Amino acid sequence: MTPAGRFAPSPSGELHVGNLRTALLAWLFARSTSRRFLLRVEDLDRARAGAEAVQLRDLAAVGVAWDGEVVRQTGRGPLYAAAIARLQDAGLTYECFCTRREIQEAPSAPHAPQGAYPGTCRNLGAAEREFRRSTRPAAIRLRADVTEYRVHDVLHGEFTGAVDDFVLRRNDGVTAYNLAVVVDDAEQGIDQVVRGDDLLPSTPRQAYLASLLSIPSPEYAHVPLVVNSDGVRLAKRDGAVTLADLAGVGMNAAAVRDRLLDSLGLPAGPLHRALAVFNPDALPREPWVWPGT
């Protein structure tokens, strides 16, 4: 299988210029390394009716073209279940009955990273587990035997971050993002992951999980986010930030594309021009402040 890069939006609403900039970068990284470029809709959670169609239209409007069919996470349940079953068979999971509140109120384990699951359900006895099963459905957690893991990132170099007994399947039966992303990237032949650097802290968990499933880690590039004038990650409330909003104030998709390319130090115009000179080493490493219209 030809290796691939990807963009994996959650269809929770319209893409804003920050999402579109990340998509442009993911496309440039993939195409400049002769990879296929795949689009995966991460609709396990937070899906809003109609959002996917608008996202795909907006990606196409800024010139981001993808190969093959769009993949949706709903409908891939058997793949996720098989991966969880493999971990279960290897003794690498356990059932967790904790409520959010119980987790917040539990004393944290010594030396555990901040925010780590305190391990309450890690060693429940059989009788206790039987009893808890009758009270609420279980989430499935990973039985991690490390507390941190190191990954390599093209833009950030070596990055070491926390790993805890994170959730693989929520207690409402929905597969957790950290499991789905690892399974999907491997199954789709994706060996290059370009995404916003807000996801860098989750990456050690994903890479560790991949190692347990004997999946080679992809190449990671966590790209700087677009922020508002307060330095806060751009959001819909920051005014005209989607293609539809911007069209309404006279800025068409080509103009938005050109402004985003300019923010990356890349030439305006159809993407093949930017592709011809794309060099990850020359990319800005700082967040970019959206100047508004």
Site for ligand GLU, rule CB under 6 A:
8-10, 42, 181, 195, 199
CB nearer to ligand GLU: give 162 or 181.
Answer: 181
CA atoms within 13 Å, Cβ hemisphere of 271:
22
What ranges in the chain are assigned the alpha helix state H? Answer: 17-31, 51-61, 77-89, 100-105, 126-133, 177-187, 203-212, 243-248, 253-263, 271-277
Supply the DSSP string of 106-152, one letter for each residue. SPPPTTPPTT----TTTT--HHHHHHHHTTSPPEEEE--S-SEEEEE
DSSP 206: H
Residues 120/70, Cβ–Cβ less than 8 Å: no
Contacts of 18 (CB under 8 A, 6+ apart): 196, 225, 226, 233, 234, 241, 290
- Find the shortest distance in angstroms from Cβ 99 to ligand GLU: 26
Residue 138 burial (CB count, 10 A): 18
CB nearer to ligand GLU: give 195 or 205.
Answer: 195
- Find the shortest distance in angstroms from Cβ 129 to ligand GLU: 33
- Find the shortest distance in angstroms from Cβ 77 to ligand GLU: 17
Among the listed residues 236, 252, 262, 270, the single catalytic one is 236
- 3-class DSSP assignment, residue 18: helix
Bridge partners of 31? none
- 3-class DSSP assignment, residue 231: coil
Residue 154 is a catalytic residue: no
- Find the shortest distance in angstroms from Cβ 92 to ligand GLU: 22
CB nearer to ligand GLU: give 5 or 119.
Answer: 5
Contacts of 51 (CB under 8 A, 6+ apart): 11, 12, 13, 14
Single-letter amino acid, residue 263 = S
CB nearer to ligand GLU: give 191 or 258.
Answer: 191
- Find the shortest distance in angstroms from Cβ 209 to ligand GLU: 13
CB nearer to ligand GLU: give 180 or 246.
Answer: 180
Provide the residue count of the chain: 293
- Find the shortest distance in angstroms from Cβ 280 to ligand GLU: 17
Residues tagged active-site: 236
